[in-house]
Amino acid sequence: MAPTILVVGATGNTGRSVAETLPKLLKANTALSDHRIIALTRSLDNPIAQKLTKLPGVEVLEKNWVDITADWLREHDVVRAFIASHNEPTQFAEESTFHHAALKAGVKYVVRISTTAANVGPDCDAYYPRTHWAIEALLSTPEYSNLQWTSLQPNVFSSLYLSTAAELIKQYRRTGKQETLRLMASEDAPVGIIDPNEVGIVAARLLSQGDTAVAAHNKAKYVLNGPEDITGRQIVHMVESYIGAKVNDVSYKDLTFIDGLANQLGPRQPKNVILSIKQAPVTAWEGKCTASTTSKQVLELAAPKRTPAEVLRTMLEE
């Protein structure tokens, strides 16, 4: 069996572009041209999964990644892997189990998706950045020295940051009416939001490197932002340019959608844990998440190019 690069979450925000980008990169790299790609999906009926099946050198398998074992990795001769985990309260248990299986199976290199660099630490008020810190700390221990890894710490995804702006524009085009524009952004703080597809491209670049280059990226934590900053006020101006009218009502730093998430939980779910997500954007509001913080290695591998204006335009075409 050919050595395999595994893409976990191949139909997700970042995994899709990893699966789409890797075949071209492997074809150009003679040292890895014999490697195959397995893209995991929880449903082969997923439209994105169906598109991935048409890519040369990509095999799409239906499997929930949390069920992956060391035996399964050995059976499929997985030597490198990409993982973009969920950020639910069970993340540490499930993602660390994956890395443990990778270690035991002799996987050589893993690229994982973390979260906003300014939040990753043991004392972040939001719960999931602490989880990412804990996973990176786990991988940094001597016990995991045989598993090389790189952790990508992307800023907030532009598709999420601009979603309410796109919704208001579409609604106005349909009805001529406006609801309150609820923005996660603060009015004035510049934030280097990033297209998740470009995060996946960086991951694919890393996964397609030769062994010497991989070693140079081992244990690295890279910060990823888009090419330019945007403020909440600038988002409002973009909306106004599309609808040809003044936005009547804006709610900045609006995180009411998180209340909705918490209210959907069952009685035994940790509501206070989910509500802590409201603390995640604080570092952005404090000006700590600008485009200038992008790691130079990211700029060398595949500098992000998609501006907020370009992303919003694409969202409106969907």
Contact, 190 vs 230, CB < 8 A?
yes
| Tens of pLDDT, residues 73-130 | 999 999 999 999 999 999 999 999 999 999 999 999 999 999 999 999 999 999 999 9
Task: Work out the number of other CB atoms within 10 angstroms of the CB of residue 29.
Answer: 13
The whole-number pLDDT of residue 263 equals 81
- For 4-154+196-224+293-304, give the CATH class: alpha beta
| Tens of pLDDT, residues 239-260 | 999 999 999 999 999 999 998 8
User: Does residue 138 register a pLDDT over 90?
Assistant: yes
Contacts of 158 (CB under 8 A, 6+ apart): 193, 194, 195, 196, 226, 306, 308, 311
Annotated domain spans of the chain: 4-154+196-224+293-304, 159-189+228-285
Tokens of 273: 């844990």
Angle between helix axes 196-207 and 15-28 (nearest 10 degrees) is: 40
Mean pLDDT for the stretch of residues 163-171: 98
User: Please, what is the average pLDDT of the chain?
Assistant: 95
Contact, 115 vs 87, CB < 8 A?
yes
Q: Which helix (H) or strand (E) holds 149?
A: strand 148-154
Burial class (CB in 10 A: 0-12, 13-18, 19+), 66: middle
Q: What is the number of alpha carbons within 13 Å of residue 85 lying toward its C-beta? A: 29
The whole-number pLDDT of residue 200 equals 98
Amino acid in the structure at residue 17: S
Query: Dihedrals φ, ψ of 161, to 5°?
Result: -65, -30
Share of the chain above pLDDT 90, in %: 90
| Tens of pLDDT, residues 197-231 | 999 999 999 999 999 999 999 999 999 999 999 99
Q: Could you tell me the pTM of the whole model?
A: 0.95
- Secondary structure letter of residue 188 according to DSSP: S
| Tens of pLDDT, residues 183-200 | 999 999 999 999 999 999
Predicted confidence band of residue 294 (pLDDT cuts 50, 70, 90):
very high
